[in-house]
């Protein structure tokens, strides 16, 4: 067993884990954070995507012990004060989910994209999310949902500039 300390969605956990335990299983089975889904366990589908120290990571490809000393954000850590994250709201408004299984990974992947590129083109969104598979094939609305957040931010920024 290995000792580890990891901050997940703002809460620090001290734990003992088997060295072979995957981060996704640690999140779901040990911490009960089942919002992070498992689609393949082989790094192909992106359903398990989380933020690991500011970078997007497929948590089925990371050992729990590799997250020792790190900060992890899951889809369950995005909402603030009971308010959905803009991407969560946009996925809802743009009908960007059907069964919803891929949605946590899509939202986390999109968060990472918007952090690095606040105004991505549809093509850039498709490229950034190409490691995330939607078996319901709802890609069109997923791209729309991410674009809508970028457009809202642009509108908010230009509104602020106009008032300045």
Contacts of 81 (CB under 8 A, 6+ apart): none
Query: Which listed range, 5-13, 80-88, 111-119, 135-143, lies at the site for ligand FES (CB under 6 A)?
Result: 135-143
For residue 60, state whether it binds ligand FES (rule: CB under 6 A). yes
Give the residue with the Cβ less far from ligand FES, 39 or 120.
39
Number of neighbouring beta carbons within 10 Å of residue 30:
14
Query: Which listed range, 26-34, 96-104, 117-125, 147-155, lies at the site for ligand FES (CB under 6 A)?
Result: 96-104
Q: How far is the CB of 143 from ligand FES (least distance, A)?
A: 13
> Which of 58, 62, 104, 109 forms a contact with ligand FES (CB under 6 A)?
58
For residue 99, state whether it binds ligand FES (rule: CB under 6 A). yes
Q: Which residue has the tokens 């105004």?
A: 119
**Contact characters 75-94, ligand FES, x per CB under 6 A:** --------------------
Q: What is the DSSP string of 70-113?
A: -EEE-GGGS-BTTBPPHHHHHHHHTT--SS-SSHHHHHHHHHHH
Contacts of 156 (CB under 8 A, 6+ apart): none
Tell which residue, 37, 65, 66, 57, has the closest CA to residue 131.
57
Give the residue with the Cβ less far from ligand FES, 34 or 157.
34
Q: Where does residue 51 fall: left (phi above 0), alpha (psi -120 to 50 degrees), or beta otherwise?
A: beta
- Interhelix angle for 103-116 vs 139-163, to 10°? 40
> Which of 100, 124, 126, 153 forms a contact with ligand FES (CB under 6 A)?
100
Give the residue with the Cβ less far from ligand FES, 86 or 100.
100
Residues in contact with ligand FES by the rule CB under 6 A:
38-41, 43-48, 58, 60, 97-102, 134-136, 138
């Amino acid at each position: 067993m290995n000792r580890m300390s990891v901050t997940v969605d703002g809460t620090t956990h001290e734990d003992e884990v088997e060295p072979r335990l995957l981060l996704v299983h640690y999140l779901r089975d040990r911490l009960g954070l089942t919002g992070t889904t498992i689609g393949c366990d082989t790094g192909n589908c992106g359903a398990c995507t989380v933020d690991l120290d500011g970078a997007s990571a497929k948590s089925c490809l990371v050992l729990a012990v590799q997250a020792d000393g790190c900060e992890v954000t899951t889809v369950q850590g995005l909402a603030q004060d009971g308010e959905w994250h803009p991407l969560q709201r946009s996925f809802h408004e743009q009908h960007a989910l059907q069964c919803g299984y891929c949605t946590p990974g899509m939202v986390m992947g999109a968060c990472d994209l918007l952090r690095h590129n606040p105004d991505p083109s549809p093509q850039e969104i498709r490229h950034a999310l190409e490691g995330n598979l939607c078996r319901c094939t709802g890609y069109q609305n997923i791209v729309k949902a991410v674009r809508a957040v970028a457009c809202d931010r642009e509108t908010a920024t230009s509104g602020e500039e106009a008032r300045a």
